[in-house]
Amino acid sequence: MAVICRNYWTGDDAYISFRTLDQLFAGNGPRWNLVDRVQVYTSPLWFWLMALSRLVIRDVYLNAMLLSLLLMAATTVMALRRITNPAVATAFFASLLLSNAFMDYTGSGLEYPLIYLLVTAFFLRFAQTASREPEASETTGLMLIAGLGLVTRHDLLLLFIMPVAYLLLCRSRRRLLDAAVFIAPLSIWTTFSLIYYGLAFPNTAYAKLYLDVPRWQLLEQGLMFFYRTIQKDIFTLLLIAAGTALLLRQKENLSLRLTGLSIALSCGYILWIGADFMAGRFFAPLFLVTAIGLSVHASQSDFLQTMRSQHRKILATFAVVAFVAYGAFYPHTPLNSPKVYEQVVVEHGISDERGFYSGATSIWRYIDNEKPYFPVHNVVLEALLLRDQDPATPASQTPPIRMAIGIFGYTAPLDTLILDVVALPDVFRSRMPRAGDDWSVGHTGRDIPGWYIESLRAGRGLMTHDPALNEYFSIVSLLNQSEDLFAQERLLAIARFNLGHYEHLLHEATTLNWRARNEAYNEACTHAWRHGKNPFEL
């Protein structure tokens, strides 16, 4: 807990949720821009936990930190209650202290402390059910934990699906009830999401996964994510690899074997989607699950008990020396990380996010009484200038266009329309083709068609130079700008949109080379304005 506090920071993505929280408590609903309803927070359960704690603590940074520490304390207590062997428990917590991936995201302002609590509660209980018949209430409890995991992050399905399927098919006494408990949290949230936002999933998922690039390029990027982890955080990947191999060999304990299969399946998914731009992010929960599986295996094994006392002392001495040597002398670990850790480096589209933002958002910056503002980041000054702008000036009519929208958007006024280069809070542009040939997982730029900003503010399509694109925008605006949530026309459009009924409009716009035509149209608009004419009336 001391190491977590010492290394606490918040990432730019966390501030995206913070702005949404401010919109919610300002009476505007859980949205990012005022003009439309878009879900930009990836984790629904984490967001609403933050909203609940916001009723008590108004400071979002302090709110996120205390909630993270509370969840990590609960995770620690739960692990200590289940891992009763002192030597195994010591090794378990020592391994957590050596993993950059695990520790970096305990204090990122993101949903990982909640993920850690849920996977610890699930896999410790699941691994220990192999030696006995689980009670009916215990199986139902596991189903509920897994169901809450899906509302925390949808892609946790790959980590839970095999144990859940095994429990339902082989160990459950009330299959229908347990299956209902498992799918209930996600069903409830998806229903709300469809009605309020018009989409089944967070828009961040569409923006990051809708890349339209060859699969081999995604696989190559995924391999680079693994390689970068080996370079910067070798202990994390070595434990996952060795632990998964050991768990897969457990023929007598099927629960541990399924745990190993779940980890392997999740690693395959990471590779398949091209991983992420945040170094180590996807490996953090997998590392914890691996450590849990190995701890359960070590507790159930008679290996330590059959060793001679002298050999146990030698093994313990070697473990302590290895822990101290790696933790203190490896180039960067949670134990030897400086108070203000800055590593602003991006290689192959992968960055050390804590190195990028801890210099501005670390706990040490937060408690510094001499700080000019917080976060101590240059974009804060840019955003503060927006508060002093005259709404009637031309500059205020042009929305700021940003690459990293978190800290900037949180500091800017809530009624400021902010466009994201990578379209995280933008349902329409997140479906657009890439802006150019370059791409990066999580940071792929999207074009801004002519008359798009005017259409967004008007709530109706004004892009008449491209009828297909204009119709597609009108449908999107019906989904996320219409105030009548239960209008029959809107509900029908929601069903059709999520089933891909309108994808042909994008195809028509793309095949007609809309990007080149928009560039020509923008040039014509500029020429018209210079000659005192309104291009929209031409």
Asked whether 469 and 509 are in contact (CB, 8 A), the reply is yes
Q: How far apart are CA 288 and CA 275, in angstroms?
A: 18
Q: Is pLDDT larger for residue 298 or for residue 521? A: 298
- 421, pLDDT greater than 90: no
At residue 304, the 3 state secondary structure works out as: helix
Asked whether 103 and 96 are in contact (CB, 8 A), the reply is yes
pLDDT value, residue 390: 66
Q: What does the block give as tokens for 5?
A: 């506090």
pLDDT value, residue 525: 61
Q: Is pLDDT larger for residue 134 or for residue 420? A: 420
Confidence band of 538 (pLDDT split at 50, 70, 90): very low
- 537, pLDDT greater than 70: no
pLDDT value, residue 531: 63
Largest Cα–Cα distance of the chain, in whole Å? 93
- Range of lowest pLDDT (7-21, 351-365, 512-526): 512-526
pLDDT value, residue 306: 65
The pLDDT of 220-245, averaged and rounded, is 93
pLDDT value, residue 302: 67
Q: Is pLDDT larger for residue 13 or for residue 520? A: 13
Report pLDDT digits (tens) over 156-169.
999 999 999 999 99
Report pLDDT digits (tens) over 350-380.
889 999 899 899 999 999 988 888 999 888 9
- 253, pLDDT greater than 80: yes
Report pLDDT digits (tens) over 66-100.
999 999 999 999 999 989 889 899 999 999 999 99
CA angle 222, 226, 230 (to 5 degrees): 160
pLDDT value, residue 42: 92
Confidence band of 208 (pLDDT split at 50, 70, 90): confident
pLDDT value, residue 131: 66
In the chain, the percentage of residues whose pLDDT exceeds 90 is 55
Tally Cβ neighbours within 10 Å of residue 56: 8
- DSSP track, 52-89: HHHTT---HHHHHHHHHHHHHHHHHHHHHHH---HHHH
Average pLDDT, the chain: 88
Q: Is pLDDT larger for residue 99 or for residue 172? A: 99
At 469, which amino acid appears? L
Residue 269: closest CA among 190, 154, 165: 154
Phi and psi at 109, nearest 5°, equal 80, 0
Phi and psi at 40, nearest 5°, equal -105, -5
DSSP symbol at 169:
I
Q: How far apart are CA 77 and CA 120, in angstroms?
A: 10
**Cα 390 to chain center, whole Å?**
36
Confidence band of 17 (pLDDT split at 50, 70, 90): very high
Count CA within 13 A, CB hemisphere, residue 371. 18
Confidence band of 449 (pLDDT split at 50, 70, 90): confident
- 523, pLDDT greater than 70: no
